Chains A and B, each alone.
Chain A
Amino acid sequence: SQQGEEDPQALSIQEGENATMNCSYKTSINNLQWYRQNSGRGLVHLILIRSNEREKHSGRLRVTLDTSKKSSSLLITASRAADTASYFCATTDAGNMLTFGGGTRLMVKP
């Protein structure tokens, strides 16, 4: 079964707008990671946030983690057409296996 549920499943925005994707998970985690997958390609690691961290930034990406609510969000600021992709959250638990959510398909229109 999937560990994470992502919301929304699909998101369409205009270039320059911000995109926010949410992820909820079920069990205790060691860390949570976000990945991007362009159509027909492999997954690319974007950012990792540890269970004792609440917020992390990387360039135009901002990730938050709320372990009390078992949820995370990924914010992409000033989106570009090149950000069009599927975004997946993934968690590791005590077994250290990386388990993925169902993904959010983001379309950024020029």
Chain B
Amino acid sequence: DTAVSQTPKYLVTQMGNDKSIKCEQNLGHDTMYWYKQDSKKFLKIMFSYNNKELIINETVPNRFSPKSPDKAHLNLHINSLELGDSAVYFCASSQGTGFYGYTFGSGTRLTVV
């Protein structure tokens, strides 16, 4: 009955590879997000998406792209992985934007070697 689920939990890959992280929410929320947490625990918003609008944090490299096949899913695709992409990536969802708490997934630890 996990509300926001991400797969995989761990991902180890070589530089230059392309990888995807999947996210699904069963809460009926209309907005989903991707956050990146670095080694110092700082959390940075990467994308915000509902069925009407994609908001991209302008600091996110265009190697990162969100793909949403439907309202309950927001996958993260990363092309040409770099060492600096190593981090924990969190998916989250909320009902509306900014007026309610977010529900987070348990995270995907990405290690680029």
Complex CA distance for A103 and B33, rounded to whole angstroms: 20
Within 8 A of B (CB), among A28-68: 30-31, 33, 35, 37, 40-45, 48
**CB <8 Å contact, A98 and B106:** no
**CB <8 Å contact, A97 and B98:** yes
Hey, what's the 0/1 contact readout for B89-113 against A, CB within 8 Å counting as 1?
A: 0101010011111111111000000
Complex CA distance for A23 and B40, rounded to whole angstroms: 17
**CB <8 Å contact, A99 and B107:** no
B-side residues, CB < 8 A to A, are: 4, 33, 35, 40-45, 48, 55, 90, 92, 94, 97-107
Complex CA distance for A37 and B92, rounded to whole angstroms: 14
Q: How many residues of A contact B (CB 8 A)?
A: 24
Within 8 A of B (CB), among A83-110: 86, 88, 92, 95-100, 102-103
A-side residues, CB < 8 A to B, are: 2, 30-31, 33, 35, 37, 40-45, 48, 86, 88, 92, 95-100, 102-103
**CB <8 Å contact, B98 and A42:** no
**CB <8 Å contact, B106 and A30:** no
Task: Give the residue of B40, B55, B104 whose beta carbon is less than 8 angstroms from that of A43.
Answer: B104
Q: A86-B41, A103-B41 are in contact. Are A42 and B106 (CB under 8 A)?
A: yes
Complex CA distance for A43 and B105, rounded to whole angstroms: 8
- Knowing that A92-B99, A96-B99, A100-B35 are A-B contacts, what are 8 other residue pairs whose CB atoms are under 8 Å apart, sorted by A's residue number? A30-B98, A42-B106, A43-B102, A92-B98, A95-B55, A95-B98, A97-B55, A100-B43
**CB <8 Å contact, A31 and B99:** yes
- Chain A residue numbers with a CB within 8 Å of B42 are 2, 100, 102-103
